[in-house]
Structure 1
Amino acid sequence: MSSHDDADYAARAARLGCATLVDAMGRVHSHRAHILALSSPDPSRTLFGPAVTIAYLPYRDDLPQAGIGFGELFDQAVGDDPAGKVLVLSSGGYPDISHGGGTKLSRVKRHKLAGVLADGRLRDFAQLRDHGFASWCRGEATRWGGDVVMPYAAGVAVEVAGVCITPGDYVFADAAGAVVIPQAGLERVFQEAAKVEAEDAESVARLLDERPPR
């Protein structure tokens, strides 16, 4: 899919909102696809794009992955065409621990990703806000978390708040929450979302026109 197509879908998603897209997903798929409301350095910024993933695990000093570092896995995850992608970080079982901050995630700005969805906390909200991309996470952290969780693998399926996200799935997040849409069904879900929006508008108009009982 071209960057122009992604920009069009991003604009449509921002207008429709997360709840409408979740309703549409429920009509097309039976699996859980919604994530409850998250925290952001700038909640006015919506996030949309295809997922690239890094799986976290609890830290162990005896595993070779303990010495790999975030940067190497980031490069593996984003590949040769990172612009517009959404970096998804799993929790590694510790959603209340920092999984990154303004320094580490400056790579997101440099490579022009759409932003970050983290199933953990992030540090340096002011710096992340200044970077200009959208960040959604479990809240702000103050302490480094590298002695509790470690990035373990890139480009694999991850679990975020009970939702399975595979590389290439489309992620949308706003102040209401987040939704994960399989790439192959993206247009169908958006078509259903337009129907949901029209049906809701019709229902509101009908309810507003109802006469109160005598």
Structure 2
Amino acid sequence: MTVTQIAPTGEPVKQTWNQPSHPESIAIRSSPALASNSDSTDSTSPSFNLTAVAAKDTPANTLLAKNTSTTLATAKDYSTVQISRSEHIRLNSDLLYCNHSCDPNVRFVTSTLASPEAGLEKPVSGAIEVWSTRDIPAGEELRFFYPSTEWEMAQPFQCSCGAEKCLGVVDGAKKVDTEVLRRYWLSAHIESLVNEREGVN
């Protein structure tokens, strides 16, 4: 399988958390495929070539991680996750290394996060949850469907995940046909925006 290469621009995210952040369920590995598939000199930095993998065999519908270290981001970028129509968070954990796939094996549940009240770059109450969508063998990369949380992406990219129904270009749910989106689990704010686009109440 070909690995998705996001080729982010700018500086790698500085690790400010204790690693591993979820040692019971998630391990971080270097991905030679990410490095070899890169077409950007900026993205050959080691931190751009890390990937999250299952630390052990994980059954379907298992809670892999509950992350309470998120902070509200001042602006969206390649490393943030959208949690509402207008708010994005920084994961501040090894969940940062979960990449995209059009055939995902995990989902990021953001509805468990409370609406931020403390201000930008401040902690967000509640926890983001990561659930397996199928059985995942130990060592398999953990990947979620980016449009399940992102309406418009800061850095769209050409996907090479190798899935039978790969989107090709990943640019947020706004650019994906509703019929395609209905094949996936979607965050509540994405469901709402899709329904609004389709004129569904």
TM-score by length of structure 1 reads 0.25
Structure 2 length normalisation: TM-score?
A: 0.26
| Higher normalized strand content (fraction of residues) | 1
